[in-house]
Chains A and B, each alone.
Chain A
Amino acid sequence: MSDILVGILATFGTVFVLLAAVGLVRMPDTYLRISVTTKAATLGIGLILIAAAVYFNDLSITSRVLAIILFIVLTAPIAAHLIGRASYFIGIKLWDKSIMDDLKGKYKKRTHELSSEDDDDSSNNEDQPNK
């Protein structure tokens, strides 16, 4: 019974990791690749680690597995946010079929400032200008 559960969990985790790898190869844009990295890999690795916890069935192993899962879930969005911010700052282009760019015109490349106010007339719903 436990073996079947371990097999099912490990299979789903492996499928998610494989989908993340295929998505990283096939996605057309750096930002879409970042999104693939944070979501699919976190779920896949979490499922594989839960399979290990079910297999060993020990308190110390389970706490170790929970520590790894908590660490990955906490740090993957932070890392993705930082690398996405850096890639926007160093001027990597969006995909040419991307519809909207929320930061367009709000980042001054010369002074390295990111303001929430538009320079043109659309200043109706900005409440706090932060740099």
Chain B
Amino acid sequence: MTLYDYLYYLLLPILAISILLLFIRFLIGPSIVDRVIALDLLITTSVGIITVYSIVYDQPTFLDIAMILALIAFLGTVAFSYYLEKRNKNE
């Protein structure tokens, strides 16, 4: 069992299962804050998936996209919290 098989047949499915669990929370989240957290963790988990993918296919260029996704996750969470606070303040 090579490293390729191990990553491809065991670790990527586990990461896919965790994406599914996070998507359940994203759908049923009672408040909007739960959805924002679930979105943040979805993007962070996809950074991990991209990294494992870049190991499997031996393409280190994918790590640039992982960096951009980490930035987008942070910006999204900050923007959501800013506007949630503003919305409560103005009404």
CB within 8 Å of B: which residues of A? Answer: 3, 6-7, 10-11, 13-15, 17-18, 20-22, 24-25, 30, 33-34, 37, 41, 44-45, 48-49, 51-52, 55-56, 58, 61, 64-65, 67-68, 71-72, 75-76, 78-79, 82-83, 85-87, 89-92, 112
Known: A20-B41, A68-B47, A79-B73. 8 other contacts (CB 8 A): A11-B11, A24-B37, A67-B67, A68-B67, A72-B44, A83-B40, A87-B33, A89-B88
Task: Judge whether B36 and A41 touch: CB under 8 Å.
Answer: no
B7 / chain A contacts, CB cutoff of 8 Å: 7, 10
Q: How far is the CA of A34 from the CA of B52 in the complex (A)?
A: 25
Interface of B is mostly: helix
| Number of A-B residue pairs having CB atoms within 8 Å of each other in the complex | 158
B51 / chain A contacts, CB cutoff of 8 Å: 45, 48-49, 51-52
Task: Judge whether B48 and A37 touch: CB under 8 Å.
Answer: no
Task: Judge whether B63 and A34 touch: CB under 8 Å.
Answer: no
Interface centre among A6, A67, A68, A76 (most CB of B within 10 A): A68
- Distance from A65 Cβ to chain B, minimum over Cβ atoms (Å): 7
- Distance from A128 Cβ to chain B, minimum over Cβ atoms (Å): 23
Name the CB-closest residue of A to B59: A56
Q: Quick one: which of A21, A67, A71 contacts B41, CB cutoff 8 A?
A: A21
- Distance from A92 Cβ to chain B, minimum over Cβ atoms (Å): 6
Q: How far is the CA of A64 from the CA of B64 in the complex (A)?
A: 8
- Distance from B44 Cβ to chain A, minimum over Cβ atoms (Å): 5
Q: Mark B57-91, 1 if CB is under 8 A from A, else 0.
A: 00010011011001101100110111011011100
